[in-house]
Structure formats: structure tokens, C-alpha cells
Structure 1
Amino acid sequence: MYTIHFETLGCKLNQIETESIARFCADAGFGVTMAHSTASQAETAPVLSIVNTCTVTAKAEQKARRIIRMLLAKFPFSAVLVTGCYAQVEKAQIEQIDSRIVVVPGTAKDTLADFPQFFMDLLTKAGAPKTAEEAAALAKDLRAWQPLRQIPAEQTENRLKPNSKDTKAIESINKFRLATDSFMHHSRGSIKIQDGCSNRCAYCRICIARGESVSLAPAEVLKRVRDIESGGQTEVVLTGVNLTLYRGTLQTESGERKMDFADLLEYLLENTDTISFRISSLYPERVDDALCRIIAHKRVRPHFHLSVQSGSNAILKAMHRPYTAETVVAAVENLRKAKDNPFIACDIIAGFPGETDKDFEQTQELCRKCRFTYIHAFPFSPRPGTEAYTMKNQIPQRIAGERVKWLSDFACKSKTEYAKSFEGKTLKAVVEKRETNIGKAVTENFLHIYIEENKQTLKDLAGKEVSVLIKQALDISGKDEETEATAVLVCDGA
């Protein structure tokens, strides 16, 4: 059996898209490996590695190049297919690394739904490469695949110049073809309901890499949710680049009904039976009374992630963010009214151009006031093609790093305190599927826990929802492992 190896960087969208491509490959007869590979790890060489990349920061792109080079060195007789947002904006740069590389731009990623059968037919005729030269020849054949040759040239390059106001990118034929109702690597189901972004935040080039916002029709979202529910999944994550941009039209007997994200969520709750919904990310200005009334439903998980970025109104304005620090505070208060002690996380950028000590102090004050359960903090990374790339008053890396450290330390302490508040309480949790994660589970409020139970029992429960009693919160400061508490089973999973 020919094997295809997958590596994924970046957001939840990339993760679900990788899962979907892997499912198409498995259905075509390929073996699939999805665990992260390392240079020293002994593995059977795949015939192809697929790397799904990210372009949010320069560090993400550096990591992608490092993984690509590692795979080329570790599997010298294999080709590497690179896709995702980095592949969209820096196609030529990636192709220059090695002749064994095939680049599929991010906006053409959906063509990979048709790729596995073509690739299997090609291997059936020619066999697997046995030399680096044959691997390069295979890559050349893959680049000649008809769907890739039909991609317009402007879709494969970064067309935006610094300070450009034109954020429109060529749309792929169907941005929602990559979907699956059975998941090989993740324990919880996910559905991409929205893609792209029509905002023009000064620091971000996702609008360049993924194009303008598009949404999956409400009826199709419901169909996919029902497919996952009927397959035995107890939870589904609704994902998108910016869920607050969701706009759909439902055809009804009385005519068309326009829907935003709150309307969609209510529609899904009304037309499903048992499955629970987890929301991947929200913009603060859209956490209003209408949305909070719906997320108060018992089948909406008490876990929310807010795209915050800064606590300084001056910096938020410079970023072109459509809200203020006061809006963030109101959103957090609304979420806590809707749910009892929810997990509330956020993103914050430290060191945006012009961020003064006073600006950062305002961010610190916002963190204290909102008591965020966790903060994904990272230093500002100037991205080519964005307004912030050429802004003056760039902040030294040392200062940005110090600010990130404060945010990260605050986040670790806050998450530990949050976990402690659940000691002695019973929660629902989904048991991890992955062999390397035996004993681990994720609770309804997004605590990563270790269940003290024999391995065979936990293997039998993989992917299922169970009830657990939280025994002890763990100090996560200075640790890479993401486990916040220990727990014991309260009842058998179903």
C-alpha cells in the first residue's frame, strides 16, 4: 500500500481541511499517517508528504520551510506537496527549495478532493519513485495535473502591494468541498461554515491568502452536522476564518430567509437532537444579546475564543479593528451571563507598531478586568502586503518579547486558577483517539485532562463522551504539555 504523510500548521480550518484531504486519500486506497514527524523518528517512507501551511507570522513560515526541508532529507525518494496560506502568497519561494516540491496554492486547495484518484492512477502506471531523480520527475508529473494547470496565474501569487486597499483574491470554485463526517486524527468533528475575510486589518494577510468572505449555505451546514451526529459524534466544532462574517440564505416555503451566525446556530439547535456545538472564534462586537440568548442553550459548549488583539483603543484603531476595549469587556460580561463559569480565551498581539508602555498597560488592565482563562499571545510579525508592514515606530523585538512573556505568564496562572475552580466537580469530556494521547480527554469547557483509568478501558472509550470527576488541577507554568487537571471516570461512556 502506498502511504501519504500529512503535516499541518496553523488554524483549526487547516486542521479540518487536512482531515478531509486525508479521508479522500484513504478512500482512494492510500495509507495515511498524520502524527508529526521528526528527523530522528524511524518511519516507513511515504510516497508523498502533504504540508498544509500558515502565513499568520514569519515564524509560521519558517516552521513550514523547516518541516519541508526535514521531509525532503528524511524521505529523499518522496515528493512533497505544499498547500495552504503560505503556499498561496509565496509560491515561487517554496518552489525554489527543491525540484521534488509541488505547490498547490491555498485558494486551489479544494482541487485536492480530486487529487487522490489521479495520484493513485499515476502510481499504478509508473510505480513509486526509487531515486531522488524519480521523485523530482513525479513532482513534475503532479504539477502537470490538469486542475493545477487551469489555475489563473493571478491566483498563485501575492498580488497585493504594501498599503494596498484591494484585498480581493480569486475565489476557488468551491471552498467547501473539503469536508468529512469521519475523523482520523481528531476526536471531535469539525465543519467549515465560513472561509476568507472581507476585513482589512492592518497586520493580517489572511484576506490576501484566503480571499473574501464566503459562507456555506445553512441547509448544507445542517446536512453535514446531521451526518456527523448520525455517525455517533457527540460534538461538532463550527469553524471559519471569521464566523461573525457568516451570511447564508435558507430557502423556505414562505421564501428566502437571510441568516447571520446567530441565526444559523439557532437553526442548527432547532433541527438536531443530541449533538453539542463548540464555537471556534468570535469577534467581540458581535457578542450581543441575540447571540448570547442562543449560546445559553445547554448544547452549546461553555468555551469561547475572542479575537481581541489589544486593550488599547489607540492600537485597535491603528489595527483597523471594528471595536474598542470597552466592547471586549461587554462581550466577556455577556458570555458570563449566558454561561456559568465559561472558558474564555483570546488572541493578543504584543509590540504592534507604535504600541507605547501606556498602550500595553491598558492591555494588561483589560486582561485583569476580563479575567481571560487563557491568552494566545504572540509578538507582532510584519507581513508583506499589509499596511503595518511599512508602518513607522516598529517596536524592538526585545520589548515585544517581554510583553509576550507577561501575557503568557498571566495566561498560565489564569488557566491554573480556572482548573482549580472545577476540582471536585463533574464534567462531560470527549476521550482522545490518538494512540499517543491515551488517557487524555477534553472537557466541555475545554480543560485538557488526564483520566486515571486502565489503558484498555480508555482505548475502548476513544472518541466517546464520558462523565469525569476533576480531581486535581495541575500547574502548567513552564511546561509544553497541555494537561490542566487529572480526573477519574464517573460513568461508562456511550
Structure 2
Amino acid sequence: MNEQQRKQANQIKQVDPSDIKSAPEENLERLKNMDSDEMIDKYFQTTYEPPNLKKAKKRLKKDVDIHYDFSISKELQQIGKGKKFLIRTYGCQMNEHDTEIMAGILSDMGYETTDDTNEADVILLNTCAIRENAENKVFGEIGHLKPLKLEKPDLIIGVCGCMSQEESVVNRILKKHPFIDLIFGTHNIHRLPALIEEAMFGKEMVVEVWSKEGDIIENLPKVRKGKIKGWVNIMYGCDKFCTYCIVPYTRGKERSRLPEDIIQEVRQLAAAGYKEITLLGQNVNAYGKDLEFQYGLGDLMDEISKIDIPRIRFTTSHPRDFDDRLIEVLAKGGNLLDHIHLPVQSGSSEVLRVMARRYTRESYLELVKKIRTAMPNATLTTDIIVGFPNETDEQFEETMTLMEEVGFESAYTFIYSPREGTPAARWEDNIPMEVKKERLQRLNALVNKQSAEAMKKYQGQTVKVLVEGESKKDPEVLSGYTERNKLVNFRGPKSIIGEIVEVKITNTKTWTLDGELVHEAAEVK
């Protein structure tokens, strides 16, 4: 905001009493009358700078700053006393981990957590932008929260996460949902204490979304879910710019944490009794490419494998960055699990070229061959998009044959939907929806078939299961995952939750296994 704009903004604040949020009655009256486009335009035209995708695409050469000095002032440590917060999370494991950080910050501000929207004093929607359906869910939830906001004007409702980094989304909220109090992006979660304070005592909607790259903040508090499985961010952002994907714009350029900081966090989780960790990154196996010294994901996993923690996974990888060193380290086995999620997106080299994936069908199959040679029992899963612009029937058939040739045991499948701001969004979405749905149906039938066949191989086998808790369908049944990420349901005492036990498989289904407990707490070391 330039000086002239700042003066104009101050003039608006001085003469417009409807901006004032000092009393619930005035808040309520303001909210009831906030559907006027004229007022909204007046209110935001000089005080808000939207996120800019063009700026987000610029990859600055400056080094990423790493901070170890995050703190919350004494005043803000008391601001949430006697109040409660609720965070609704949409999307990937990275968003789940961001929620853990925001929960840690709010807890350090004195807030307590709740699952009841009616009890909450702060509600944050941590959003996902990767699919249109994910955005629709968030806007649906925003609509549901409006009556609650009218009933409780002092309630702070915030929208954060990847959707907040999209200019069109933020402008839609400003125009259509002005009762929202707070919008912030993926790069400035560490600013949450100040943003909450501003939303609580300020006169206007708080919007802080940075198009510039975020720094790495190392000492952020976290409230982790449970004590069994933990997520560890090892890097942030993505530099691939696939033509359909919004993530490089919403998450910024690739920024790797220092190895010593990651290793220290893993050691802390091991000391706390965690049985499994997953290393996270939007493009996790590009880890280290931005560091000033030669060090990659294979090197990091080799060091982490020496830590006394039973299971180590990573997600999500890009085929282009899956190098020989990583395969060599994974092949050592031990606590490094050989379940590999390797998104292919399409089986057609031509479609992959238009997607800007920068590998071919042939090179992908060569990578799979390397992995199979080094780890014959490795489980491979993938992501696939159907109905990408101009995808022909023949190109879709190439995806089907690739699915069979690789022998994927599971796949996340999606109908292509354009994401505003990406190159593909400018192209004609020329595959009729009925064709997309027919292709998806055929692909899913094949995925189900291959998953069921893979599950049958476990009949009568004894597998090691990390027990996570009660089954969602039956509280008398326990459930957990095998080393190769297969969900197993079985009966056993609640005392073994959090342990690794041996279970004999008695029945196989398409997506899950049923079994019997062999003996308690056969923990893997």
C-alpha cells in the first residue's frame, strides 16, 4: 500500500462508523448490512493487496532465511484464557501438519481445543486448493458458519491454507462472505498470534497473504495428534510447475530444512515413544537440491534409519527426482519401509509432455524396474488424472495398460478440473463430463481389481500391524496398518493400542484385511 492509499484508508476508517468492531451490537448490525457490493468495494479497495500468482511464480535467488526465535509475547499468551478454538482441516498431510502447528500456537496463547462449533471462540478453516471439489466444501462450510457468526458476533472465523493464496478465492470471500474476520496464507502461519489480536481488536477484516516466499521457522510449537504416528516436514514448496497444479503458487519455491534440525526432531519423536514417522514435502524427494552442500533425501533417510524408531515413510515423491541414491538407501530395509507412493498422473508420454511432468512413460517404467530390482517386494501406489484437455481414447488406454504393467496396488484417481491461475486453466476443457466419468469408472474398476488381487496374497500370512485405535465401524475391533500400508482389522485388548503386534490374516477384502491377534506387542526394533 502506498502513502496515498494509506491516507485514503485512514479517512475511510475515520468516517465510517460501521467499520467499528468494539461492541457486539455494532458488530451484529454491520454484519446484517454487509451484502452491499458498494460498501464492500469502498471498504477494501484501498486497504487490501491480493495474492498475486505472477509474483508467486518468480523464483528469487535470495537464500531462504531460517529462524529459531519464534516467541509469543506475555500479553498474547493470556489472550485466549477461558476461550476455545476449532480448526477444520482439508487436503493433504502437509495441511494436517500445519494444523498441528496452529493448534500449538493457539494453545500457547491460552486457548483450549474443542470439536463443537457452538463452543468455539476461534474457528479456522485450513483449506486445500488442489481440486475444485475441495474448494466447494470450504465455501459450503463458510455458508454454514454465517448464522453462527450472526448469533455470536465476537466469534473469530478465519480462512487459511492453500485457498488463501489464490487471488480469486480471496476476492470471492471479500465480496460474498464479508463476515469472515481473518484470511492468511501458507507462508505466514507464524504470524498467527498478531493476526488473532488484530482480528479481535481491529476495525476491519484482517487479510495477510504473502506472494513472496516464506522463510523457515524452526521452533514453532505443535500439538500433535496422538503419540503413535508423527509427521515431519523436511521441505516446503515445489518448483515443478506441472501445467494443471496450483501447489507451486500456493506453497512457494522449494525450501529445505537443514538436516540437523530434521534429525533432532525425529530423535525427539523417538524419545517420546512414536512408532512411525512420515517425512513430508510437496515434492519430498527434491529435498536438499537448494542446500549449499550436496545432500539429498537418500542421505537424510540413511542417517534417520539409525534412530531407534520402528517405521519411517516419506511422501509425496516426484518420479523425476527419484534418484539411484534413494533407491540404494531404501533397499537396505530395516525401519525404512518399501511402500512407495509414486504419482504417474498419466500413462501417455504425450499427455505427460503437455502436463509438463518432464518424464515419459518409458522412463517411468524404467524407474519402476530399478525399484523392483532393488526391492522385489515393494508396494507401489500412485495418482492418476483422467480427462486432461485433449486426452484421446488411445491415450487413456495407455494409462490403463500402464496401471496393469506396473501392478499398482492402489491409486488415487481424479477427474481433471481446471485450477485458475495454472496454464492448463487457459486451455479448452474439451473432454465431455460423461466421457471423463466413464473413463474414471473403468479406471477405478481396474484399481479395485488390482487392489483385491494384492490383498489375496496376504491370506493366511502373519503381518506386523501398528495398532492405531478402534475401528471406525466397530469400537470392539482394533485397526492399524502393516509396513506396506495395508489396513488390518482384528479383535484385541485396548492395551495394545500404540504397539506393533503380529496378526494372522483370516479374510481379505478389496481395501482391508481381517485378522486374529497372534500375541501381544511383538514390537519391531
Structure 2, unaligned runs of 5 or more? 1-81
Deviation at residue 176 of structure 1 after TM alignment: 5.3
Question: Which SS does the other structure have where 1:345 is aligned?
Answer: strand
- Over 3 Å counting, the alpha-carbon distance change for 1:308 and 1:32 in structure 2 is same
Equivalenced residues, count? 431
Aligned counterparts of 1:243 and 1:360: Cα–Cα separation in 2: 28
Which residue of the other structure, out of 390, 397, 400, is the alignment partner of 1:364?
400
Q: Distance in 2 between matches of 1:421 and 1:304?
A: 18
Larger Rg: 2
Tell me which residue corresponds to 1:448: 487
The structure 1 residue matched to 2:514, chosen from 483, 486, 490, is 486
Within the candidate set 276, 284, 299, 1:235 is matched to: 276
Aligned to 1:131: none
- Contact 2:181/2:204 (<8 A) preserved: no
C-alpha separation in 2, matches of 1:337 and 1:171: 40
Counterpart amino acid of residue 221 in structure 1? I
Contact kept, 8 Å, 1:110 with 1:176, in 2: the verdict is no
The answer to whether structure 1 residue 416 and structure 2 residue 452 are counterparts is yes
Contact 1:419–1:473 (CA<8 Å) still a contact in 2?
yes
- Residue 111 of structure 1 and its aligned partner are, at CA, apart by 2.3
Match of 2:374 in 1: 338
Decide whether the 8 Å contact of 1:194 with 1:213 is kept in 2: yes
**Structure 1 unaligned blocks of 5 or more:** 35-41, 123-137, 157-168, 251-255, 477-483
Alpha-carbon deviations, 1:65-85, whole Å to 9, x = none?
112222344574233211000
1:80 and 2:174 aligned: no
Select 2:145's aligned residue among 71, 81, 89: 71
How far apart are residue 463 of structure 1 and its match? 3.0
Encode CA deviations 1:16-66: one digit per residue, 9 max, x unaligned: 1112222333344433246xxxxxxx7652112111101111111101111
In the TM superposition, 1:264-283 aligns within 5 A as: 264-270=300-306, 272-283=307-318
Aligned to 1:103: 183
Q: Is residue 2:231 matched to residue 1:190?
A: yes
Match for 1:13 among 77, 94, 108?
94
* Percent of aligned pairs sharing the same letter: 27
Q: After TM superposition, give the deviation of residue 435 of structure 1 in Å.
A: 8.7
Contact 1:205 1:383 in 2 (8 A): yes
Matches for 1:182-331 after TM superposition, within 5 Å: 183-184=224-225, 187-247=228-288, 257-270=293-306, 272-296=307-331, 297-331=333-367
Determine the structure 2 residue equivalent to 1:91. Answer: 170
Cα displacement string for residues 369-396 of structure 1 (whole angstroms, at most 9, x for unaligned residues): 0111111110111111111111246211
Structure 1's 186 and 360: CA in aligned 2 closer, same or farther, altered over 3 A? farther
Q: Which residue of 2 aligns with 1:464?
A: 499
Other-structure match for 1:350: 386
Equivalence for 2:427: 391
Residues 243 and 18 from structure 1, CA distance in 2 versus in 1: closer, same or farther, beyond 3 angstroms?
same
* Aligned partner of residue 216 in structure 2, secondary structure: coil
Question: TM-score scaled by structure 2?
Answer: 0.76
In 1, are the aligned partners of 2:146 and 2:179 still within 8 Å (CA)? no
CA distance in structure 2 between the aligned counterparts of 1:191 and 1:445, rounded to whole angstroms: 19
Aligned twin of 2:60: none
Q: Does 1:171 align with 2:213?
A: yes
With over 3 angstroms needed to count, the CA separation of the structure-2 counterparts of 1:304 and 1:143, relative to structure 1, is farther
Compared CA separation, residues 362 and 371, structure 1 to 2 (3 A)? same
Distance 1:412-1:110 versus aligned 2 partners, 3 A rule: farther
Deviation at 1:186, TM superposition (A): 7.7
TM-score (normalizing by structure 1): 0.80
Counterpart of 2:141, as a letter, is I
Cα 1:20–1:377, aligned 2, differ >3 Å: closer, same or farther? Answer: same
**Contact kept in structure 2, 1:85 and 1:106, CA below 8 Å:** yes
Checking the alignment, whether the CA contact within 8 Å between 1:99 and 1:139 is kept in structure 2 is no
**Cα distance in 1, alignment partners of residues 455 and 183 from structure 2:** 43
